[in-house]
Amino acid sequence: WKNNDTNSSSYTYRIQIDGPDHSDNKTSNTIYVSIMYLKPGTLYKFKIYAQLNGSTEGDPNGINVYTSNPVYDIEFVNVTTTTLEIKWKDNDTNASNYTYQIYISGTNYFENKTSNTPYMHVDGLEPGTLYKFEIYAEIDGNKGDPKDTSVYTKPSPVYDIKAEKITNTSLDLTWKNNDTNASNYTYRIHIDGPSSFNDFSKLTYVPISNLEPGRFYKFKIFAQINGSETEGDPNETTVYTRPSPVFNIIVEDVSTTMVNILWESPDAARSTYSYRILINGSSDTISPTTSSEISDLNPGTNYQFSIYSIAADNKTEGTPKDRIHCTDPASVDRFDCNLVEKKPQLSLDWSIPNGSYEGFRIEILNNQNKILERENQTIVTDLDYFTTYTITIVTLSCKKTSIPREKKCRTSITDPPPLTVSPVVKATSHNSFSVQFNSFNSSHGPIKAYAVIITTSEGTVSNEVLKYTYNDFWNKETSTYVAYIKTEEKRSSSTKNQDYVVEIGDESTTYGYFNGKLDPLGSYRACVAAFTRITFVNETIVNAEKSYVSFSHLSPLVGLPQNPAVITGGVVGSILVLLVIVAIVGFIFWKKKRYKNNFIMQSKLLKVENYESYFKKQKADSNCGFAEEYEDLRPVGANQPKFAADLSDNKGKNRYNNVLPYDISRVKLSIQNHPTDDYINANYMPGYNSKKEFIAAQGPLPNTVQDFWRMIWEKKIYTVVMLTKCVEQGRTKCEEYWPNKQSKNYGDLMVAMTSEIFLPEWTIRDFSIQQSDSPESHPVRQFHFTAWPDHGVPETTDLLISFRHLVHEFMKQKPQSSPTLVHCSAGVGRTGTFIAIDRLIQQMEMENTVDVYGTVYDLRMHRSLMVQTEDQYVFLNHCVMDIIKSKKEKKMDLIYQNTDAMAIYENFTPSSPYIGRANGYHV
């Protein structure tokens, strides 16, 4: 209290306390007193008396006061960014009568609020701001002691959260907060992913690292003030990290238009990925796995494949990994090879391949290579004449090559190289002389024929003389004429480079040339013309313009002696008679020696291991031993009856008068209208497995084609082997008895060709036969060998053995009761050779023995003239020798070099050598 008296410093004061539970007096020497032990919430009356000297007391002044305790347990609840609720406690007895004064102060903020309860809701605050609260209990205008406290409002949630610079393991987060006090905030970033952790930032930005690639993350951002004591409500965003780039990309070529791409991903989350493959920056494809097959590409073209890993949200992509790959170039579809007439060259042209290409490489086996940029044709030069070349072409692109296309192509023939040696001429009588010459070089093509030209002139011979005949010479129209034409058959290797001797003046006729007698005492020269191609005008005179020919030098003059007939006719006649007698006696003696007791040897069976020495012995002296064997075989079977063939109705069914079927083994057809309807020029022939394994027949005539097909139908023949061309050297050897594109009726049989495949040495045709009154259909396959000359032998043994193997493999698939029909022109020479080869090969395989002589003997007992020429007999022995050698030297591909191409035929797969064979000779 106060007192302004002058002498107040000498005063004492009595304080009278009057309350419901307490009355007392207190004394104080000052203007202050502390009164204790009052009861809270109670009205007390205080009267203060000033005293002087302990006895004089002034009038009192007083005050009424309610006692009260400060509030306690102040609590803030439901604190938000702009509001809060404050609660407190007050245990005074009279507290229910209190009012409370709340003083609120903050930054640029002050407000006084009153509450009748220990609770108050406060709003209008600033987010993230510190507020101080002072609370007074008041009753009847009397305030108790204050209680103060402070609190921060929550910061506002952040907004506009952005994830930027996202990589596979890191990203940057930015956000915004517009609170007034935001500059004082700290931010807690809670990262929730494969693992959870917190990060903190004083800024509205934070870089996050050490994340896992391709994973889903949730980021919650809390604004904090007052350290971490006051934290606002979070805002959040979700993000996928980018997948890592793929690695180990492998591109495999599936075809020229398709690749298979494989790759790997290093990420733990790769099982949730899909992948996008971008092709050349434009078209793309999606793959759920780490591989993809890409199709519809262009061959020979560079492609950039960019592979993106895509996270599980199907939109977050990683950094692409690129791989540049060139598809395989496409092969050319068409590759043609043609000879260049009379030049050692080949003309090649081919189709432009699909896709891109830089050029082509032509390879000629064992010869040369040639690179071409973008041309699709070329001429290959510097080759040899009449040589078969294996030529391959590959497409080039991106330093890659296509699958090669291959052709076998033979260069042209041309005029033979001239013979530099003159023929040797020698007078043999007064009106004839012999011309001896050696075979021409066949490097420009095989020699097809020789012409011997006679002249009484000097100088050189030209193509012009080929049109002149002996009659022209006799009529003095020319001094030079063609006396003789010798056609040259293909020969075995043993007969190459031989000498020829031609008798001039023997009055023989070849084609349109007569070899007439010469004048006694005449002087003549000879010249030899060799032909690699010879054509005739009306099969008589050589067509010089269309023939390829070269000439030898003229021989020296040969002079003929005078005719001695007038002087020595009688003497010569006597001598000739004597010589004839001597010859007859000698022949009889020789025959008796060779055929003891009129017995002809039927077999010469040899062990395979002994055959080589036997072969060398028989081959010596120009095949002398084989020639003797062949002579022994001439009469075999010849005396057997051929009555059916000699019937007048059947004579017109025979192609050759000297090749007629024996009655004992002839094939009999069904009789239809006439008793002779059963006749056809064909015989059953024994094979290795049965007596009727083959039928040997002549090539059909126009009037026997129906009978030929009737034989195939009635005898249930599935396999036909044809060993001749229809026309050879201008002569018809066999009627073309089969239909081409459209089916054809042969009597009551309808025949249709179902396939035809051409190869260089043979052709395969399939036919279907159906009888008009039957639904039954019968298939037939024809194997047509086109590389065998009439009366001759093929160029090499392996070619025919390969062909026989092809036929034999097909025969094995058919019923054993079905005979194989073999024919050439006459049905004896080439036909007999083929059947003999089949028998001999099986004999070597199964018995380890070989009997060429006995095989031919047996065949001739069933059909006349089988293995018609000595050359064919020698050729048979060469085949046997080559097979034995190939086994011995293990050249297993000798015989099968042409069979790979045959895999294209249905029901045919070449057998592996030596499988299931007794001795392995089926090489």
User: Looking at residue 657, what DSSP letter applies?
Assistant: T
Residue 434: other Cβ atoms inside 10 A: 19
615 burial class (0-12, 13-18, 19+ CB within 10 angstroms)?
buried
Strands 12-18 and 61-66, sheet pairing: unpaired
Q: How far is residue 158's CA from residue 829's CA, in Å, rounded to a whole number?
A: 109
Candidate list 337, 734, 824, 879, residue with the active-site label = 824
Pairing of the two strands 432-438 and 499-504: antiparallel
Helices (H), 362-427: none
- 3 state DSSP class of 495: helix
Closest CA to 630 of 304, 865, 845: 865
- Other residues' Cβ atoms within 10 Å of the Cβ of residue 48: 19
Is 578 within 8 Å of 445 (Cβ atoms)? Answer: no
Residue among 26, 33, 31 at smallest CA distance from 2: 31
Residues contacting residue 281 through CB under 8 Å, at least 6 positions apart: 304, 306
Listed in sequence order, the residues at least 6 apart from 520 whose beta carbon sits closer than 8 Å to its beta carbon are 430, 431, 560, 561, 562, 563
Angle of the 870-888 helix axis to the 608-633 helix axis, nearest 10? 180
In angstroms, what CA-CA distances link 814 with 119, 140, 719, 818?
114, 134, 9, 7
CA distance 683 to 828: 10
Q: Single out the residue of 862, 906, 858, 853 nearest to residue 880, CA to CA.
A: 853
Tell the residue number behind the tokens 């304080």, with chain if given.
Answer: 15
Whether residue 335 contacts residue 405, with contact meaning beta carbons closer than 8 Å, is answered with: yes
Side-chain half-sphere of 354: how many Cα atoms within 13 Å?
12
User: Hey, which residues does 369 pair with through a beta bridge?
Assistant: 363
State how far the Cα of 56 lies from the Cα of 154, in Å rounded to an integer: 65
Please state, as a whole number, how many other Cβ atoms lie within 10 Å of the Cβ of residue 850: 27
Q: What is the dihedral of CA 57, 58, 59, 61, to 10 degrees?
A: -100
Secondary structure element (H or E) that encloses residue 360, with its range: strand 359-364
| Of 495, 500, 564, 546, nearest in space to 526 by CA | 500
- For the question of residue 824 being annotated catalytic, the response is yes
Q: Which two tokens stand for residue 341?
A: 């007439």
Gap between the Cα atoms of 526 and 480, Å rounded: 9
How many angstroms separate the CA atoms of 146 and 138, rounded?
A: 10
CA neighbours within 13 Å on the CB side: how many for 744? 13
Query: CA dist 428 to 331, 520, 808, Å?
Result: 66, 11, 52
Mapped onto helix, strand or coil, the DSSP state of residue 845 is: helix
The CA-atom distances, in angstroms, between 48 and each of 36, 63, 66, 318 are 16, 9, 17, 91
**Which residues are bridge partners to 346 per DSSP?**
339, 380
- 142: β partners: 139
Phi and psi at residue 803, to the nearest 5°: -65, -45
- The answer to whether 311 and 243 are in contact (CB under 8 A) is yes
What is the C-alpha separation between 347 and 375, in angstroms, rounded?
13
Residues with catalytic roles: 824
